Amino acid sequence: MKKKNSVVDSNNKVVKLRFEDNNLARNLFGVHDQNLRSLEKKLDITINVRGTDVSLAGGCSDVEIAGKLLNEFYQLLKKGYPVFGSDIEQAVKILSKDHEASLHDIFSHSIFIPAKGHVIIPKNYHQKQYMDAIRQSDLVFGIGPAGTGKTYLAVAMAVMALSKKQVERIILVRPAVEAGEKIGFLPGDLLEKINPYLRPLYDALYDMMDFEKTVQLRESGVIEVAPLAFMRGRTLSSSFVILDEAQNSTREQMKMFLTRLGFGSKVVVTGDITQIDLPEGKMSGLVEAEGILKGIQGISFQYFDAGDVVRHPLVSDIIDAYQK
């Protein structure tokens, strides 16, 4: 991509860009130029297209963000990384906070899931930091609101580690805490009663692997999904272990869980400390662990906020409203 020219006055800027590859340019612009139209709305600029030439006009800062975004996504496309409409929205958020942020560094840290041929790409800087922390540390805490990808990315990293034979098992764990609903009158035995609490972990697994393959690996014990209470007395070696919804673990359960860590294992603990469903007076194990374990070498803490939400845009607004 080459910048043809730019003209600046006191408040506004016009930048003209030329993209050499017609197919890549069309992918960058989106179907019926939807990606460019999205940029116009997000940044309050005007974009005109003629062939593979693009003209950006508007406030200096917004035009610079748009130009940087299009340049970097074009380079990603040249290297074979797909660009989606949701990536444009996330990139605008990233560059609005930090004009110097490298979209290439963030979006090129992909996870390849061979079972389904999925390529999972971090959607923001905090997701990239989170994935880097999981690669580098044996124990990682991911703390933040719903919809920020904490559990999904952890499961993706676990599936990738299993496919590369870096671990022998995946163990997915959740506390079974009643969040206003009672499970005592649900039909079935104990495992059937607590199954709804584990369903989100199954959903993430099924998105990464074929259903039949997942069932086969569960039956053979290579993949295990279990309530937190079932972890007592075990030593988890050569495993990728994820404790989800950890804000609903008690302090005793959290200590018990963390001391299960065995040789060759990696543990990821995720939770949202604003949504604790423990009975009144019970200390959250996640909150206590955050205060006790910070600063220990080999343990990483990664925090997410409403700006990192990658679900429907309203989810971020809802989280901000409740925080206020």
pLDDT digits (tens, 9 = 90+) for 109-128: 777 776 666 678 788 889 98
In 3-state terms, what secondary structure has residue 120?
A: strand
pLDDT band (50, 70, 90) for residue 157? very high
What integer is the mean pLDDT of 89-117?
Answer: 79
Q: Which of 182, 276, 190 is nearest to 230 (CA)?
A: 190
Q: What is the mean pLDDT of the chain?
A: 85
pLDDT digits (tens, 9 = 90+) for 176-215: 765 444 445 545 555 555 667 777 888 888 888 888 888 8
Check residue 74 and give its pLDDT.
Answer: 93
Q: What pTM value is reported for the model?
A: 0.73
Tell how many helices (H) and how many strands (E) occur in the chain: 12, 12
54's CB contacts (< 8 A; 6+ apart) are 16, 17, 18, 19, 29, 36, 47, 48, 70
Check residue 321 and give its pLDDT.
Answer: 82
Check residue 3 and give its pLDDT.
Answer: 43
What integer is the mean pLDDT of 217-244?
Answer: 91
> Cα separation of 69 and 172, whole Å?
37
Residues 246-255 as b or e (16 or more Cβ within 10 Å = b): bbbbbbebbe
> Cα separation of 287 and 294, whole Å?
11
> Cα separation of 315 and 270, whole Å?
19
Check residue 254 and give its pLDDT.
Answer: 96
Q: Which of 132, 140, 95 is nearest to 111 (CA)?
A: 132
Give the whole-number percent of the chain exceeding pLDDT 70: 88
